[in-house]
């Protein structure tokens, strides 16, 4: 094939030679794009699967799922107290004890490397499988 390309008129030869350059340039551009492309935002975590009174007075056990290896931050919005835990087992589960009163509002966020998710708000009230077990926090009209 190269022998045939050498017999082509001058205008056709640069195309044959640059074809390899175009392929190399396209490959380089794709590689660079993958390095500088922004990462997708980290989706907010699910609300905790279980919130229950802790054995320690004034504290609540908060359990849920997260991305494997994430750092999970749980905040009591009323007091500003934040408790964090890393999913060191990479099993996608977390457990924290949060200082709170029943009916306080909590927020759970995830951190993976330098990316922080949006928060998911939840009610500090006894829950099981994400469902509130009691209605003690309903507002009276």
- DSSP letters spanning 44-69: PPPPPSEEEE-SSTTEEEEEEE--TT
Tell me what pLDDT residue 137 has. Answer: 79
- 13 CA to centre of own chain: 52
Sheet holding 131-132, edge to edge: 93-99, 59-65, 50-53, 127-128, 131-132
Asked if 44 and 117 count as a contact pair (C-beta separation under 8 A), the reply is yes
CATH class of the domain comprising 50-132: mainly beta
pTM for this predicted structure: 0.67
- Encode pLDDT of 17-46 as tens digits: 444 444 444 455 545 544 444 457 889 999
Asked if 110 and 66 count as a contact pair (C-beta separation under 8 A), the reply is yes
- Encode pLDDT of 35-78 as tens digits: 444 457 889 999 999 999 999 999 999 999 999 999 999 999 99
Tell me what pLDDT residue 136 has. Answer: 72
User: Which two three-digit tokens encode residue 64?
Assistant: 């849920």
CA atoms of 55 and 120, how far apart (whole Å): 25
């Amino acid at each position: 094939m190269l022998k045939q390309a050498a017999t082509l008129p001058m205008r056709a030869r640069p195309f044959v030679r640059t074809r390899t350059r175009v392929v190399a340039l396209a490959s380089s551009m794709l590689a660079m794009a993958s390095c500088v492309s922004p990462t997708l935002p980290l989706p907010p975590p699910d609300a905790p699967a279980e919130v229950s009174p802790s054995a320690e007075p004034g504290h609540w056990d908060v359990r849920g799922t997260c991305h494997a290896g994430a750092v999970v931050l749980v905040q009591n919005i009323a007091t500003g107290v934040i408790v964090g835990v890393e999913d060191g087992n990479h099993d996608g589960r977390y457990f924290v004890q949060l200082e709170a009163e029943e009916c306080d509002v909590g927020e759970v966020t995830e951190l993976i490397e330098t990316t922080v998710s949006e928060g998911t708000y939840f009610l500090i009230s006894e829950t099981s499988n994400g469902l509130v077990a009691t209605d003690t926090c309903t507002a009276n009209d």
